[in-house]
Protein backbone atom coordinates (compact mmCIF):
# COMPACT_ATOMS: atom_id res chain seq x y z
CA UNK A 1 0.00 0.00 0.00
CA UNK A 2 1.02 3.59 -0.51
CA UNK A 3 2.23 5.61 2.49
CA UNK A 4 -0.38 7.92 3.99
CA UNK A 5 0.29 11.20 5.75
CA UNK A 6 -1.28 11.90 9.13
CA UNK A 7 -4.31 14.17 8.86
CA UNK A 8 -4.74 17.18 11.10
CA UNK A 9 -7.87 17.32 13.25
CA UNK A 10 -8.98 20.66 14.62
CA UNK A 11 -10.97 21.18 17.80
CA UNK A 12 -14.48 19.82 17.34
CA UNK A 13 -13.63 17.88 14.17
CA UNK A 14 -14.41 14.19 14.60
CA UNK A 15 -12.64 11.13 13.23
CA UNK A 16 -14.99 9.16 10.99
CA UNK A 17 -14.91 5.39 11.61
CA UNK A 18 -16.44 2.53 9.60
CA UNK A 19 -16.76 -0.90 11.28
CA UNK A 20 -16.58 -3.94 8.97
CA UNK A 21 -17.33 -7.22 10.75
CA UNK A 22 -19.85 -9.99 10.15
CA UNK A 23 -20.56 -10.30 13.89
CA UNK A 24 -23.47 -8.12 15.02
CA UNK A 25 -22.22 -8.44 18.61
CA UNK A 26 -18.77 -7.09 17.71
CA UNK A 27 -20.26 -4.24 15.69
CA UNK A 28 -22.49 -3.28 18.62
CA UNK A 29 -19.75 -3.55 21.25
CA UNK A 30 -17.26 -1.49 19.24
CA UNK A 31 -19.85 1.13 18.32
CA UNK A 32 -20.78 1.50 21.98
CA UNK A 33 -17.12 1.75 23.06
CA UNK A 34 -16.29 4.43 20.50
CA UNK A 35 -19.44 6.45 21.21
CA UNK A 36 -17.93 7.40 24.58
CA UNK A 37 -15.29 9.55 22.89
CA UNK A 38 -16.61 12.85 21.46
CA UNK A 39 -13.71 13.06 18.98
CA UNK A 40 -14.82 9.89 17.18
CA UNK A 41 -17.94 9.26 15.09
CA UNK A 42 -19.02 5.82 13.86
CA UNK A 43 -20.41 6.68 10.44
CA UNK A 44 -21.51 3.17 9.48
CA UNK A 45 -21.03 -0.58 9.54
CA UNK A 46 -20.72 -3.39 7.01
CA UNK A 47 -20.95 -7.18 7.24
CA UNK A 48 -18.34 -8.13 4.61
CA UNK A 49 -15.64 -6.72 2.35
CA UNK A 50 -17.78 -6.10 -0.71
CA UNK A 51 -20.30 -4.09 1.29
CA UNK A 52 -17.42 -2.41 3.06
CA UNK A 53 -15.88 -1.17 -0.19
CA UNK A 54 -19.24 0.31 -1.20
CA UNK A 55 -19.62 1.99 2.21
CA UNK A 56 -16.15 3.50 1.92
CA UNK A 57 -17.12 5.13 -1.37
CA UNK A 58 -20.37 6.42 0.15
CA UNK A 59 -19.24 7.50 3.62
CA UNK A 60 -15.58 8.50 3.16
CA UNK A 61 -14.39 7.28 6.58
CA UNK A 62 -11.00 8.24 7.99
CA UNK A 63 -10.46 4.81 9.60
CA UNK A 64 -11.94 1.37 9.02
CA UNK A 65 -11.95 -1.38 11.64
CA UNK A 66 -11.68 -4.57 9.64
CA UNK A 67 -12.37 -8.21 10.46
CA UNK A 68 -10.63 -10.89 8.41
CA UNK A 69 -12.95 -13.89 8.27
CA UNK A 70 -16.19 -12.72 6.64
CA UNK A 71 -18.53 -14.18 4.00
CA UNK A 72 -18.47 -13.18 0.30
CA UNK A 73 -15.28 -11.10 0.58
CA UNK A 74 -12.88 -11.45 3.50
CA UNK A 75 -10.64 -8.78 4.96
CA UNK A 76 -7.50 -9.89 3.13
CA UNK A 77 -9.19 -9.67 -0.27
CA UNK A 78 -10.55 -6.27 0.64
CA UNK A 79 -7.02 -5.11 1.51
CA UNK A 80 -5.74 -6.38 -1.84
CA UNK A 81 -8.34 -4.28 -3.67
CA UNK A 82 -7.49 -1.18 -1.64
CA UNK A 83 -3.75 -1.64 -1.75
CA UNK A 84 -2.72 1.06 -4.20
CA UNK A 85 -5.47 3.58 -3.51
CA UNK A 86 -3.88 6.83 -2.27
CA UNK A 87 -7.27 7.98 -0.95
CA UNK A 88 -7.91 4.89 1.16
CA UNK A 89 -8.75 5.18 4.87
CA UNK A 90 -6.43 3.99 7.58
CA UNK A 91 -6.98 0.31 8.36
CA UNK A 92 -7.04 -1.26 11.82
CA UNK A 93 -7.38 -5.02 11.74
CA UNK A 94 -9.32 -7.01 14.32
CA UNK A 95 -7.00 -9.77 15.54
CA UNK A 96 -6.90 -12.62 18.04
CA UNK A 97 -3.95 -13.62 20.23
CA UNK A 98 -3.63 -17.06 18.68
CA UNK A 99 -1.34 -18.78 16.20
CA UNK A 100 -3.93 -18.33 13.46
CA UNK A 101 -4.49 -14.73 14.53
CA UNK A 102 -0.76 -13.99 14.37
CA UNK A 103 -0.40 -15.48 10.89
CA UNK A 104 -3.41 -13.64 9.50
CA UNK A 105 -2.39 -10.36 11.11
CA UNK A 106 1.07 -10.50 9.57
CA UNK A 107 -0.54 -11.32 6.19
CA UNK A 108 -2.80 -8.28 6.57
CA UNK A 109 0.05 -5.99 7.58
CA UNK A 110 1.98 -7.15 4.52
CA UNK A 111 -1.05 -6.21 2.41
CA UNK A 112 -1.06 -2.73 3.89
CA UNK A 113 -3.15 -2.77 7.08
CA UNK A 114 -1.77 -0.01 9.28
CA UNK A 115 -2.12 -1.70 12.67
CA UNK A 116 -4.22 -4.19 14.58
CA UNK A 117 -6.31 -4.45 17.74
CA UNK A 118 -7.41 -7.52 19.63
CA UNK A 119 -11.04 -8.53 19.93
CA UNK A 120 -11.83 -8.21 23.61
CA UNK A 121 -14.55 -6.92 25.88
CA UNK A 122 -12.29 -3.98 26.86
CA UNK A 123 -11.51 -3.22 23.22
CA UNK A 124 -12.36 0.45 23.66
CA UNK A 125 -9.32 1.08 25.85
CA UNK A 126 -7.04 -0.28 23.14
CA UNK A 127 -9.00 1.06 20.18
CA UNK A 128 -9.08 4.75 21.04
CA UNK A 129 -5.33 5.43 21.05
CA UNK A 130 -4.87 3.16 18.05
CA UNK A 131 -7.38 5.21 16.04
CA UNK A 132 -6.02 8.56 17.18
CA UNK A 133 -2.39 7.68 16.39
CA UNK A 134 -3.03 8.38 12.69
CA UNK A 135 -4.02 12.00 13.26
CA UNK A 136 -2.35 15.24 14.27
CA UNK A 137 -3.96 17.45 16.85
CA UNK A 138 -3.08 21.12 17.47
CA UNK A 139 -0.96 20.34 20.56
CA UNK A 140 0.73 17.23 19.08
CA UNK A 141 4.48 17.52 19.93
CA UNK A 142 5.44 15.42 16.91
CA UNK A 143 4.58 18.41 14.72
CA UNK A 144 7.57 20.30 16.12
CA UNK A 145 10.32 21.15 13.64
CA UNK A 146 13.23 18.70 13.70
CA UNK A 147 16.14 19.77 15.86
CA UNK A 148 19.39 17.95 15.12
CA UNK A 149 21.92 17.99 17.96
CA UNK A 150 25.52 19.04 17.81
CA UNK A 151 27.51 15.83 18.34
CA UNK A 152 29.50 15.80 21.60
CA UNK A 153 32.90 17.39 21.20
CA UNK A 154 35.62 14.81 20.89
CA UNK A 155 33.30 11.84 20.34
CA UNK A 156 35.56 8.97 19.38
CA UNK A 157 35.19 7.46 15.94
CA UNK A 158 35.06 3.95 17.34
CA UNK A 159 33.89 1.24 14.91
CA UNK A 160 30.28 0.16 15.58
CA UNK A 161 29.78 -3.12 17.41
CA UNK A 162 25.98 -3.42 17.52
CA UNK A 163 22.82 -2.16 15.82
CA UNK A 164 19.79 -1.69 18.10
CA UNK A 165 16.36 -1.01 16.58
CA UNK A 166 13.11 0.13 18.18
CA UNK A 167 9.85 0.05 16.21
CA UNK A 168 6.10 -0.25 16.68
CA UNK A 169 3.18 0.58 14.36
CA UNK A 170 4.24 -0.19 10.79
CA UNK A 171 7.22 -2.15 12.03
CA UNK A 172 6.80 -5.51 10.29
CA UNK A 173 6.71 -3.85 6.87
CA UNK A 174 9.58 -1.52 7.76
CA UNK A 175 11.74 -4.45 8.88
CA UNK A 176 10.78 -6.46 5.80
CA UNK A 177 11.92 -3.53 3.67
CA UNK A 178 15.34 -2.98 5.27
CA UNK A 179 16.59 -6.49 6.07
CA UNK A 180 17.12 -7.48 2.41
CA UNK A 181 19.49 -4.50 2.12
CA UNK A 182 21.90 -6.02 4.64
CA UNK A 183 24.86 -7.79 3.03
CA UNK A 184 25.43 -11.48 3.87
CA UNK A 185 28.65 -10.52 5.68
CA UNK A 186 27.04 -7.82 7.84
CA UNK A 187 29.39 -7.74 10.84
CA UNK A 188 27.13 -6.52 13.65
CA UNK A 189 24.56 -8.23 15.83
CA UNK A 190 21.11 -6.65 15.46
CA UNK A 191 18.78 -6.33 18.44
CA UNK A 192 15.15 -5.45 17.67
CA UNK A 193 12.27 -4.46 19.91
CA UNK A 194 9.01 -4.57 17.96
CA UNK A 195 5.91 -3.89 20.03
CA UNK A 196 3.97 -7.14 19.63
CA UNK A 197 2.35 -9.69 21.92
CA UNK A 198 3.55 -13.27 22.51
CA UNK A 199 3.20 -15.68 19.57
CA UNK A 200 3.25 -12.74 17.14
CA UNK A 201 6.97 -12.09 17.66
CA UNK A 202 7.85 -15.71 16.93
CA UNK A 203 5.97 -15.63 13.64
CA UNK A 204 7.50 -12.25 12.85
CA UNK A 205 10.99 -13.73 13.29
CA UNK A 206 10.07 -16.63 11.00
CA UNK A 207 8.79 -14.27 8.32
CA UNK A 208 11.78 -11.98 8.52
CA UNK A 209 14.04 -14.99 8.07
CA UNK A 210 12.61 -15.41 4.57
CA UNK A 211 13.90 -12.00 3.46
CA UNK A 212 17.51 -12.13 4.69
CA UNK A 213 20.44 -14.53 4.66
CA UNK A 214 21.34 -13.47 8.20
CA UNK A 215 20.04 -15.64 11.02
CA UNK A 216 16.81 -14.28 12.56
CA UNK A 217 15.45 -15.64 15.81
CA UNK A 218 13.12 -14.76 18.65
CA UNK A 219 15.52 -14.10 21.50
CA UNK A 220 15.85 -16.47 24.44
CA UNK A 221 17.37 -15.74 27.83
CA UNK A 222 21.14 -16.12 28.23
CA UNK A 223 21.76 -16.41 24.47
CA UNK A 224 25.13 -15.09 23.29
CA UNK A 225 24.89 -11.97 21.12
CA UNK A 226 26.62 -13.06 17.91
CA UNK A 227 27.72 -10.84 15.05
CA UNK A 228 25.59 -11.26 11.94
CA UNK A 229 22.55 -12.53 13.86
CA UNK A 230 19.22 -10.76 14.36
CA UNK A 231 17.41 -11.09 17.68
CA UNK A 232 13.72 -10.17 18.08
CA UNK A 233 12.51 -9.42 21.62
CA UNK A 234 9.75 -11.91 22.53
CA UNK A 235 6.32 -10.52 23.29
CA UNK A 236 5.64 -9.71 26.96
CA UNK A 237 9.38 -9.70 27.82
CA UNK A 238 11.86 -6.88 28.04
CA UNK A 239 15.07 -7.68 26.16
CA UNK A 240 18.34 -6.28 27.47
CA UNK A 241 22.02 -7.13 27.08
CA UNK A 242 24.60 -7.83 29.78
CA UNK A 243 28.33 -8.47 29.61
CA UNK A 244 29.38 -11.67 31.39
CA UNK A 245 32.98 -12.90 31.42
CA UNK A 246 33.75 -10.91 28.31
CA UNK A 247 30.70 -12.17 26.41
CA UNK A 248 27.57 -10.17 25.69
CA UNK A 249 24.43 -12.10 26.61
CA UNK A 250 20.71 -11.47 26.21
CA UNK A 251 18.71 -11.01 29.38
CA UNK A 252 14.93 -11.36 29.27
CA UNK A 253 12.63 -10.35 32.11
CA UNK A 254 9.05 -9.47 32.88
CA UNK A 255 9.66 -6.40 35.01
CA UNK A 256 6.89 -3.77 34.82
CA UNK A 257 6.03 -2.35 31.39
CA UNK A 258 7.64 0.93 30.39
CA UNK A 259 5.58 3.41 28.37
CA UNK A 260 2.83 0.77 28.67
CA UNK A 261 5.09 -1.52 26.61
CA UNK A 262 6.72 -4.87 27.27
CA UNK A 263 9.06 -5.29 25.44
CA UNK A 264 10.19 -1.69 25.73
CA UNK A 265 12.63 0.10 23.45
CA UNK A 266 13.83 2.20 26.39
CA UNK A 267 14.88 -0.93 28.28
CA UNK A 268 16.88 -2.23 25.31
CA UNK A 269 18.50 1.13 24.53
CA UNK A 270 19.62 1.69 28.14
CA UNK A 271 21.29 -1.69 28.30
CA UNK A 272 22.95 -1.22 24.90
CA UNK A 273 24.35 2.11 26.11
CA UNK A 274 25.74 0.46 29.25
CA UNK A 275 27.38 -2.43 27.39
CA UNK A 276 28.48 -0.87 24.10
CA UNK A 277 28.65 2.88 24.82
CA UNK A 278 29.80 4.93 21.85
CA UNK A 279 30.35 1.81 19.74
CA UNK A 280 26.56 1.41 19.42
CA UNK A 281 24.40 2.45 16.50
CA UNK A 282 20.68 2.71 17.21
CA UNK A 283 17.70 3.32 14.94
CA UNK A 284 14.20 4.39 15.92
CA UNK A 285 11.48 3.58 13.41
CA UNK A 286 7.80 4.21 12.87
CA UNK A 287 5.57 3.81 15.90
CA UNK A 288 3.02 5.31 18.24
CA UNK A 289 4.03 7.05 21.46
CA UNK A 290 7.42 7.97 22.89
CA UNK A 291 9.00 4.62 23.76
CA UNK A 292 12.70 4.89 22.97
CA UNK A 293 13.17 8.59 23.77
CA UNK A 294 14.49 8.11 27.31
CA UNK A 295 16.73 5.28 26.13
CA UNK A 296 17.92 7.48 23.27
CA UNK A 297 18.96 10.12 25.81
CA UNK A 298 21.14 7.54 27.56
CA UNK A 299 22.62 6.38 24.26
CA UNK A 300 23.30 9.97 23.26
CA UNK A 301 25.05 10.65 26.57
CA UNK A 302 27.31 7.65 25.93
CA UNK A 303 28.19 8.91 22.45
CA UNK A 304 26.20 6.35 20.45
CA UNK A 305 25.02 7.23 16.94
CA UNK A 306 21.22 7.57 16.55
CA UNK A 307 19.26 7.30 13.32
CA UNK A 308 15.58 8.31 13.13
CA UNK A 309 13.18 7.36 10.35
CA UNK A 310 11.69 10.43 8.70
CA UNK A 311 8.06 11.47 8.89
CA UNK A 312 7.21 10.87 5.24
CA UNK A 313 8.05 7.15 5.29
CA UNK A 314 6.68 6.47 8.80
CA UNK A 315 3.20 5.03 9.28
CA UNK A 316 3.14 6.94 12.58
CA UNK A 317 5.84 9.47 13.43
CA UNK A 318 5.37 9.22 17.18
CA UNK A 319 8.48 7.38 18.37
CA UNK A 320 10.97 8.77 15.84
CA UNK A 321 9.29 12.18 16.00
CA UNK A 322 9.76 12.30 19.76
CA UNK A 323 13.46 11.44 19.45
CA UNK A 324 13.92 14.09 16.75
CA UNK A 325 11.98 16.76 18.67
CA UNK A 326 14.18 16.05 21.70
CA UNK A 327 17.28 16.81 19.65
CA UNK A 328 18.67 13.28 20.03
CA UNK A 329 18.87 12.12 16.40
CA UNK A 330 22.21 12.36 14.62
CA UNK A 331 20.39 11.99 11.31
CA UNK A 332 16.81 11.75 10.05
CA UNK A 333 16.46 9.68 6.89
CA UNK A 334 13.82 7.89 4.81
CA UNK A 335 13.45 4.21 5.61
CA UNK A 336 15.36 3.14 2.49
CA UNK A 337 18.39 5.19 3.61
CA UNK A 338 18.74 3.60 7.06
CA UNK A 339 20.88 0.63 6.02
CA UNK A 340 23.15 2.76 3.78
CA UNK A 341 23.64 5.08 6.77
CA UNK A 342 24.63 2.13 8.97
CA UNK A 343 27.00 0.80 6.29
CA UNK A 344 28.55 4.25 6.03
CA UNK A 345 29.31 4.10 9.76
CA UNK A 346 31.05 0.80 9.07
CA UNK A 347 33.15 2.36 6.31
CA UNK A 348 31.21 0.58 3.56
CA UNK A 349 29.27 2.07 0.66
Domain formed by 142-345, architecture: 3-Layer(aba) Sandwich (3.40)
* Superfamily the domain 7-136 falls into: Response regulator (3.40.50.2300)
pLDDT value at residue 327:
95
pLDDT tens by residue, 39-93? 999 999 999 999 999 999 999 999 999 999 999 999 999 999 998 887 899 999 9
Mark whether 195 is an active-site residue: yes
Contacts of 268 (CB under 8 A, 6+ apart): 164, 166, 191, 193, 233, 238, 239, 240, 241, 295
pLDDT value at residue 138:
67
pLDDT tens by residue, 179-203? 999 999 999 999 999 999 999 999 9
Domain residue extents for the chain: 7-136, 142-345
Enter the DSSP assignment of 87: T
Question: Which secondary structure element, helix H or strand E, spans residue 332, and what is its range?
Answer: strand 331-333
Q: Exactly one of 115, 195, 322, 326 is catalytic; which is it? A: 195
pLDDT at position 346 over 80: yes
Burial annotation 25-41 (CB, 10 A radius, 16+ → b, else e): ebbebbeebbeeeebbb
pLDDT value at residue 283:
98
Query: Order of strands across the sheet with 331-333?
Result: 215-218, 229-232, 190-194, 162-167, 280-284, 305-309, 331-333
Length reported for the chain:
349
Enter the DSSP assignment of 317: B
pLDDT at position 265 over 70: yes
pLDDT value at residue 141:
52
Q: What is the mean pLDDT of residues 302-311?
A: 96
Sort strands 247-253 and 238-244 into parallel, antiparallel or unpaired: antiparallel
Q: How far apart are CA 110 and CA 230, in angstroms?
A: 20
- In terms of Cα–Cα distance, which of 244, 195, 201, 230 is closest to 99? 201
Mark whether 291 is an active-site residue: yes
pLDDT tens by residue, 144-184? 545 555 544 445 457 899 999 999 999 999 999 999 999 99
Binned at pLDDT 50, 70 and 90, residue 337 comes out as very high
Question: Which secondary structure element, helix H or strand E, spans residue 231, and what is its range?
Answer: strand 229-232
Check if 7-136 and 142-345 are the same fold: yes
Mean pLDDT of the chain: 90
Q: Exactly one of 168, 271, 314, 322 is catalytic; which is it? A: 168
Distances (CA, A) of 201 to 47, 99, 159, 164, 274: 30, 11, 30, 17, 25
Amino acid sequence: MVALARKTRQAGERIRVLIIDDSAVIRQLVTHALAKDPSIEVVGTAVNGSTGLARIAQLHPDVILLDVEMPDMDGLEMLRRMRNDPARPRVLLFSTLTRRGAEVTLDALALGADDYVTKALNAGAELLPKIKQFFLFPADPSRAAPVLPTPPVGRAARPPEVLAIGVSTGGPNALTAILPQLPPDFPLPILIVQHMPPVFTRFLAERLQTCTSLKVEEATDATSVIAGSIFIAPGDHHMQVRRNNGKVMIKLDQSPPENSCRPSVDALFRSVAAVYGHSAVAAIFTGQGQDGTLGAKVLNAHGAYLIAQDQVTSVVWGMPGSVVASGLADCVVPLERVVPEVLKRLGKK
